[in-house]
Amino acid sequence: MNQQVKPVKTDFKYVGTRPIRPDGPDKVTGRAKYGADLNLPGMLFGHIVRSPHAHARIKSIDFTEALKLPGVLATMCADDLPDPGDRILPGAEIEMKLKDISPIIMARDKVLFHAQAVAAVAATSASLAAEAAKLVRVEYEVLPHVLDVHAAMRDDAPLLHNDMFTQGMNPPPTTPSNLSVDFTMDMGDLAAGFAEADVVVERTYRVPMCHQGYIEPHAAVARTDGNGRVEIWCCTQGHFMVRSMTAEITGIELGKIKVIASEIGGGFGGKTTVYGEPVAAVLALKSGRPVKIVMSREEVFRATGPVSSAETRVRIGAKNDGTITAIETDILMESGAYSSSPIMPSTMFAAACYRCANMRSRGREVLTNKAKVWAYRAPGAPQSIMAVECAINEVAERLGMDPIDLRLKNAVEEGDVPLFGLPFLAIGLKKALQEAKNHPHYRAPLQANQGRGVAAAFWINAGMQSSATINVAADGSLHVLTGNPDIGGSRASMALLAAEVLGIPVETVHPSVVDTDSVGYCDTTGGSRTTLATGGAVIQAAEMLVAELCKRAAAIWNVNFDDVEWSDGKAIARIGADLENLMEGTAAAASAPKVLTLAELAAMAGATGGPLCAVATLHAHNAQPAFAVNICDAAVDRETGKVDILRYTCIQDAGKAVHPAYVEGQMQGGAVQGIGWALNEEYIYNEKGELDNAGFLDYRIPVASDLPMIDTVIVEVPNPLHPFGIRGVGEVPICPPMPAVVTAVNQAAGVRVCDLPLTPPKLLAAIDAA
Amino acid sequence: MSTQKKTHVSTTINGEPCEFLCEPQQILSDVLRTNLNMTGTKEGCTTGDCGACSVILDGALVCSCLVLAVEAENRSIETIEGIAEDGKLHPIQQKLLEHAALQCGICTPGVVIASKVLLEKNPDPSEEQVRYWLAGNLCRCTGYDKIIRAVLDAGAVMRGEARS
């Protein structure tokens, strides 16, 4: 563990302020270049041929007719990619087998979901490429498919992978099945815990498959230099990830790939993998021309990482005084066609907010003939936390206890050991709960047909590897280079962190996100890690720079390094009485200038040792959890079942909010994504396994008129392991909204609907039945 | 389809005369972005559902993905590239920055265009009017809170009631 020895900094000059983000002007004027915004001379357009079946064997692929069209210059299919065998993808956030990724790029032998990529063509215009794609003849042997997790677990279910043996079972099964994972975590004595309880609540909640819903479709442009080197421009959460995954999938040497991250139009976890990038690279190599592949919105919905549905049975026991005695969760999570769901975090973190001696959590992952799922903001946690938090509210109701008081009574704090085993250090759950309880929102009166829901949530946060380079220009301006795509204002944070260490105005710090050739390795922007880990590298590099600047000043003044200190952007020689006594008679000390500014030192760099530059790399093991509490007021129209969100408040422990406006933005955005998931958003498949709502009209994410203002309260309990006390902030905001909304809506309607989303027809049916 | 001859279109973009050749079926957003390299106008869906491609066509707010490029003949188009004048940001752009009302920024050009049309039609909208007017501009990052505040604030600046 990289335990912090220095005390956590608590007095800040720049961190905690709200400057305009450096990339802002380009983004409000349309100058910023996103994935689909690059056009190169001679560029071809790629188009993907997709499976019309949910499950089928590919018998043959024939490009003859497509290639007859003038202007069609290259084609590809899985034959152009190396066999993934049993290779494990290096560097992935969670362990991934290449054979679970490569067939998403191009299906091998079988297609396992409707719209899976089967082949691709590249042509001189987008319309020509689309026309050519229709002429690619693919022969299929259609196989029976399965779309429901319960049906998929039956013995007679169509088998997706004949080499899929359930992991986590003891003894291991001898026959393959669609149940890919089945594991249980235990603590204490569950039966004894329930025996102690005066009240036991048991429910099963269902959360639907949804989509991350980023507004920018995936886009990539690849070009080659004619000598085997490939350059890829794309919108991604991690261009180093694109480099390694493209190398693994295509067999192109990693060292010959350079990836440039464009601006990114949203990701939320959905852009932590590749889709068109390896295809564009192969087509570019085959054609010798730049190739651009832009997904349509329909392709994004049908064929990119949707989000696991989950069915969670929860059982909670409590004493009359509110002490929770037992918590059991059993989560059935859908992974789509390949094993890749976040069943582990979902299982481990379901009840991480509560101190309870007796816990059990079982997680099962099931494959179905749907698009392979991928990460979405705090992957897996919202689904299981949804069930636990609703049950906690029901326990409070049964005990006649205030739901925040019940949580305060059982909330984890420093020293508690959760089910996943890592003892908590200083954490902000109780403080956040107290803030919620004291908030005027919590005391505001409710009217008829209105309800109020509260929920708390935990997320682990990631650290991982990051690098940063800081160059000082001749005028003393700072140029901070990092390798994490700026998905929500991280350049502003990097600038603030460097400004803080150097003590210079943030406007003189110029942060850039640079390509894979131009900065040290950085893991993907994800896991709420960028400000913590990449920001940590920026802090380290800035500290190294300060040391170097002091060294230069010491040399100029001919004094000891220890006698120079850095303060407010200046080197200062501590030539006071003490020092003069120490260095009595030295001419240099007597005549030395007392102060050198960063700009002065920068101007003299050539004469004092060369350019000023600092590079820091780290593997951050100092991530610490985030906690959030939400309060939601909802009204239900008993005639139509329509829900209105009346008031919404988010409280979150940020550790230290580097740029508070962007922390608030994460809280507000996450809350609204959760509101959408609770009320509107769901994947609707027809019997053939085709997604019926593959567009923003029918897959309805919240719009401005659906919502009230989203109030925020930032709590700051510093992360004791981080030099500036920073925790991650990006993911936990999506964890509490679903249970807060569901509790408010059910209370408003006087019903208990456990099957999300809470659409008007479902609510009306429940109201009518009640 | 692709073997058809291209069509010649004469139009005005951001006050400047502009001529282009396009395929007859090409949508305006695609021609702006691909043929004219004016990529400030974004495409999030090409079905008129997300508003990222908003432009002003003869004074009216439209999704440029629902307009055929050939329909631009003899019309006047305003795009995001023409909103800042002489290098000075429009109050809407300035307020979006000050309120940190963008995270990824992909919806921002569309929000700027739609808000400009709103504030020209209704210089003093209520919060509810802003919310309904911008209901066609999807934002997945912000939860809209800061966008709504920025537009209301920009309206105040344009009315001379608040500092720019």
User: Which residue in A90, A108, A88, A106 sits closest to A98, CA to CA?
Assistant: A88
pLDDT band per the 50, 70, 90 thresholds, residue A398 = very high
Across the interface, whether the CB atoms of A665 and B1 are under 8 A apart is answered: no
Mutate to test the interface with A, among B141, B149, B164 (most CBs of A within 10 A): B141
Type of residue at A335: S
pLDDT band at residue A89, thresholds of 50, 70 and 90?
A: confident
* Residues ≥6 apart with Cβ < 8 Å to A639: none
A28:B108 CB<8 A: yes
pLDDT on residue A586: 52
Q: Mean pLDDT, to the nearest integer, of A466-473?
A: 98
Tell me the per-residue pLDDT of A682-706, one tens digit each, with 9 for 90 and over.
999 999 999 999 999 999 999 999 9
DSSP string, A59-114: EEEE-HHHHHSTTEEEEEEGGGS---TTPBPTT-SS--BGGGTHHHHS--SEE-ST
Extended strands (E) in chain B? 7-13, 16-22, 54-57, 60-63, 76-78
Radius of gyration of chain B (CA): 16
Q: Do A665 and B146 touch (CB under 8 A)?
A: yes
Shortest distance, CA A445 to any CA of chain B (angstroms): 22
Cβ contact A29–B84 (<8 Å): yes
A31 has a chain B CB within 8 A of its CB: yes
Residue A215 sits at the chain B interface (C-beta within 8 Å): yes
**Rounded to an integer, what distance in angstroms lies between the CA atom of residue A535 and that of residue A497?**
7
CB A289 within 8 A of CB A222: no
Of chain A, the percentage scoring pLDDT greater than 90 comes to 95
Contact (CB, 8 A) for A713 and A435: yes
Task: Specify whether the CB–CB gap between A21 and B97 falls below 8 A.
Answer: yes
pLDDT band at A242 (very low <50, low <70, confident <90, very high): very high
When pLDDT is cut at 50, 70 and 90, the band that residue A1 belongs to is: very low
How close A318 comes to chain B (CA, Å)?
36
Best to test chain A binding among B106, B112, B115, B164 (most A CBs inside 10 Å): B106
- Please say whether the beta carbons of A386 and A205 come within 8 A: yes
- A-chain residues within 8 Å CB-CB of B46? 296-297
How far off is chain A from B150, nearest CA to CA, in Å? Answer: 12
Instruction: Say yes or no: A673 contacts chain B, CB-CB below 8 A.
Output: yes
* For range A225-254, the mean pLDDT: 97
Which of A129, A177, A524, A178 shows the shortest CA–CA distance to A369?
A178
**Taking 60 as the threshold, does the pLDDT of residue A282 lie above it?**
yes
Interchain contact A68–B (C-beta under 8 A): no
DSSP string, A629-691: EEEEEEEE-TTT--EEEEEEEEEEE-SS-SSHHHHHHHHHHHHHHHHHHHHT----B-TTS-B
pLDDT score of A474 more than 80:
yes
d(CA A756, CA A707): 19
- Interface mutation vs chain A, best among B13, B14, B126, B145, most A CBs within 10 Å: B145
- Tokens describing residue A588: 């240099």
Region A108-119: mean pLDDT is 97
pLDDT at B164: 74
* B3 vs A243: which has the higher pLDDT: A243
Closest listed residue to residue A514, CA positions, set A255, A258, A256, A260: A260
Of B39, B106, B109, the CB nearest to A266: B106
The pLDDT confidence band at residue A577, using thresholds 50, 70 and 90, is: very low
- ipTM of the predicted structure? 0.98
pTM for this model (two decimals): 0.97
Closest to A629 (Cα-Cα) out of A703, A711, A708, A702: A711
> In sequence order, what are the residues at sequence separation of 6 or more whose Cβ sits closer than 8 angstroms to the Cβ of residue B118?
B125, B129, B130, B133, B134, B151
At residue A589, does pLDDT exceed 90?
no
Reported as a pLDDT band with limits 50, 70 and 90, residue B163 is confident
In this complex, is the C-beta atom of A700 within 8 Å of any C-beta atom belonging to chain B? no
Nearest chain A residue to B82 by CA distance is: A29
Could B140 and A268 be called an inter-chain contact, meaning their C-beta atoms sit closer than 8 Å? Answer: yes
Over residues A172-188, the mean pLDDT reads: 97
Cβ-based contacts of B148 with chain A (< 8 Å): 704, 709
Q: How far is A265 from chain B (nearest CA, A)?
A: 5
Measured between CA atoms, how close is B60 to chain A, in angstroms?
20
> How far away is chain B from the Cα of A272, in angstroms, using its nearest Cα?
15
Beta bridge partners of A326: A317
Min Cα distance B139 → chain A (Å) is 7
Residues B82-109: pLDDT tens digits? 999 999 999 999 999 999 999 999 999 9
Residue A220 confidence class, pLDDT cut points 50, 70, 90: very high
Which residue do the tokens 């408010």 mark? A744
Write out residues 410-469 of A within 8 Å (CB-CB) of B: none
Closest listed residue to residue A328, CA positions, set A343, A312, A344: A312
pLDDT higher than threshold 60 for residue A511: yes
Which residues, in sequence order, are CB contacts of A52 under 8 Å at separation 6+?
Answer: A114, A140
Mean pLDDT (chain A, rounded): 96
A25 in contact with chain B, both atoms CB, cutoff 8 A: yes
* Shortest CA distance from B140: residue in chain A: A214
Backbone angles phi, psi at A541, to 5 degrees: -65, -40
Q: Is A125 on the interface with B (CB under 8 A)?
A: yes
CA-based nearest residue in chain B for residue A695: B45
- What percentage of chain B exceeds 70 in pLDDT? 98
- Chain B residues within 8 A of A489 when measuring between CB atoms: 100, 103
Asked if A367 contacts A337 with a C-beta cutoff of 8 angstroms, the reply is yes
Using CB atoms, which residue from B33, B96, B131 is nearest to A28? B96
